[in-house]
A and B are shown apart, each in its own frame.
Chain A
Amino acid sequence: GAVVSQHPSRVICKSGTSVKIECRSLDFQATTMFWYRQFPKQSLMLMATSNEGSKATYEQGVEKDKFLINHASLTLSTLTVTSAHPEDSSFYICSASALRDEQFFGPGTRLTVL
């Protein structure tokens, strides 16, 4: 089956630093990758949709200068949380898609900003 990895799985950083999270599709080429954020006991919230080679489309209320997304290849997308603050602490999940209606989810990255 399709496998999506994320790295790192956990990261703890100091306030003001930037953190990069990688999302890779390991055995298929993903034309579209999605980035989600999840707070405790809440559902996934879509942050942005990225297509390979083009700029990401951000959801309303998500700051694109704060959450930089790069989808440089068909197997890799990165999310960079710039100048992270404690309120950015959350669980970030990516998913990857090659076909419409199909999404394969990564294992998630737990970010803690001190």
Chain B
Amino acid sequence: KNEVEQSPQNLTAQEGEFITINCSYSVGISALHWLQQHPGGGIVSLFMLSSGKKKHGRLIATINIQEKHSSLHITASHPRDSAVYICARGSYNTDKLIFGTGTRLQVFP
């Protein structure tokens, strides 16, 4: 069992739909990251959060520390949102990140 579980693994959506990607982890964390990886391979850091909620444009990330769960929401999805979304957790005693297996999102026009 991976320490960081994401669901779903694959997701398809029509343009304009509201999208939710979930991430669960099993131990206490220092921070939770949401990353985006486009087909070309480069990774963009979307959010780093340790509590509450953050919003950037059409993207919203939330985290519930007690339930060890985070969600990434995309409002009014667009084909350019098609990418792999990865959550990763930090820990208190190391600088390393533990990555989830990613959610592959395809948004169709």
Residues of A within 8 A of B (CB): 32, 34, 38, 42-44, 46, 49, 91, 93, 95, 97, 100-108, 110
Contacts and interface: CB of A to CB of B under 8 A. Distances in A.
Nearest to B91: A101
A108 to B, nearest CB: 4
A102 to B, nearest CB: 6
Contacts of A93: 41, 43
Interface string B25-47: 00000110101000011111100
Interface string B60-104: 000000000000000000000000001000100001110111100
A102 B90 CA distance: 9
Question: Mostly helix, strand, loop or mixed at chain A's interface?
Answer: strand
Interface of B: 30-31, 33, 35, 40-45, 48, 50, 86, 90, 95-97, 99-102
B79 to A, nearest CB: 21
Nearest to B100: A43
B41 A110 contact: yes
A102 B48 CA distance: 8
